[in-house]
Structure 1
Amino acid sequence: MTKQVRAYGGISADQRRATRRDQLLEAAFEVMALEGPGGLTIRTVAKQAGLSTRFVYESFTDLDDLVVAAFELAFRQMSDAVASAVADANTARRATVTACIEAMVDFFLTAPAKGKLLSTKAYGHPAVAERRLARSEDVYRTFGSILQQLVPDRDAADPAIDLTARFLVGAFGETITAWIQQSLPYPRDKFVHDNVELFLSAITTLERL
């Protein structure tokens, strides 16, 4: 006989667990924003979420598991924001690049803890080091496909496209990390504009490679 799982208020047990998991992930970002990565523990996350620590272990094996899940959530949210912005832009080169840069900049501005977790050096938790490397490859491939659309006369397998994608994404990752840490005294619009110009210059160079 199949065991019936009781629902409370029309919400199933699985739905409640999923909601608590989301609460805990967002709480982890809030702790990082308030206390920095050093303040992130099972207890601080549970407290921030207003839940017992037992609910943390209901969803995550340990703190490393929670941090990796938080990293994956932040990565998906940023990727979705960029994809949506690029899809909504017209096909002109400047419009596409501007949409891409603005989406990443605004993600870092509105969710700095998530941005820092994704960035290369701002959050050095060992549990996410391997995951960050794998996701970096995903970003390179995604931006490579955008470049191929912007420079359609180049073959998709041209190594210069991959080279340019890695150059731009790697450099921009370091640059936006410095900016969000206020090492670069740029207002938002000027930061977007100047990075768009740098990206466009690199794409023009790609056409000559």
Structure 2
Amino acid sequence: MTQTPSASKPAAKPKATARGRAYRGVSIEKRRAERREKLLRAGTTIFGSVGFHGTSVRAICAEAGLTERYFYESFSNSDALLSEIYELTTSQLRQLVSRAIAYRSGEPDAMAEAALTAYFEFLLDNPHSARVIMVEIMGVNPQMDAQYRRVMDDFANFLVAVFRGLHPERRHHDTRDYLLATGLIGAMVNMAMRWMLNGYREPVADVVQAARFILISVNNQLSQ
């Protein structure tokens, strides 16, 4: 007896999950990350040109090519976006300086020149980022002021570690070392801010040499 072929079942539809469906082969997580990256780039451009207090969420979204709905998917407000941009930019800058120093390890003059060149060239090549980390971050709210101080402390701690690595035989003086490093970081930031506000008028090499003079002078004192 011949069996009647059973009707083929329709293919089961993929189940929607809490993580969402893929769109054109791109997962919702990746699309969300791409939107976040667009907002970070747009925020850097707007904050670094118009200024933090002179812009709005709508302007940032227009720059990013996104609706406000997607802004609030990633950030609670403009303050949160500025804070994230500042954290990412200063982390990138610290990594650049660290790599520059690592290539000249043990050579104080070359280390100072490499680190300062990396620092000032980054500011020149990224003027919007430079304005964000040196101007726009200031005075927004107490939390961001604390974030700024923490980052400056991190840079000072990094500088202390570098000096101690160069002079392992020297007795550590914690209070003096950290105050000295804090002063040096402040000097570098203020030199950079003046340079930026003057439209990067002086060549990078001249700014590097002026800043290098300060660092090497201190290093020479520490070596005595």
TM-score (ref. length: structure 1): 0.89
Q: Secondary structure at the match of 1:91?
A: coil
- C-alpha offsets along residues 146-183 of structure 1, whole Å, 9 cap, x if unaligned? 11112222245543322321121011111111111118
How many residue pairs end up in the alignment? Answer: 207
Cross-structure match for 2:92: 77
Moved more, 34-43 or 17-26: 34-43
Q: Which amino acid aligns with 2:24?
A: G
Alignment of 1:18 with 2:33, yes or no, is yes
**Which deviates more, 75-84 or 147-156?**
147-156
Could you tell me how far apart the structure 2 residues matched to 1:91 and 1:154 are?
Answer: 15
Which residue is equivalent to 1:124?
Answer: 138
- Give the TM-score normalised by structure 2: 0.84
Q: Which amino acid aligns with 1:76?
A: S
Structure (1 or 2) with the greater helix fraction:
1
Determine whether 1:34 maps to 2:49. Answer: yes
| Aligned pair partner of 2:121 in 88, 103, 106 | 106
Q: Give the percent of matched residue pairs that are identical in Structure 1 and Structure 2.
A: 26
Aligned letter for 2:103?
D
Which has the greater radius of gyration? 2
Q: 1:27 to 1:183 in 2, by over 3 A?
A: closer
Moved over 6 A (4+): none
Worse overlay, 31-40 or 19-28:
31-40
Alignment of structure 1 residues 22-171 onto 2, 5 Å = 22-119=37-134, 121=135, 123-127=137-141, 128-156=144-172, 158-171=174-187
Where do 5+ consecutive residues of structure 1 fail to align?
none
Whole-angstrom CA distance in 1 between matches of 2:22 and 2:173: 53
Does the CA-based 8 Å contact 2:48-2:130 persist in structure 1? no
1:184 and 1:51 map into 2 onto residues whose CA distance is: 33
Cα-to-partner distance string for 1:18-73 (whole Å, 9 max, x where unaligned): 11111101101111233233333111110000111111100001111111111111
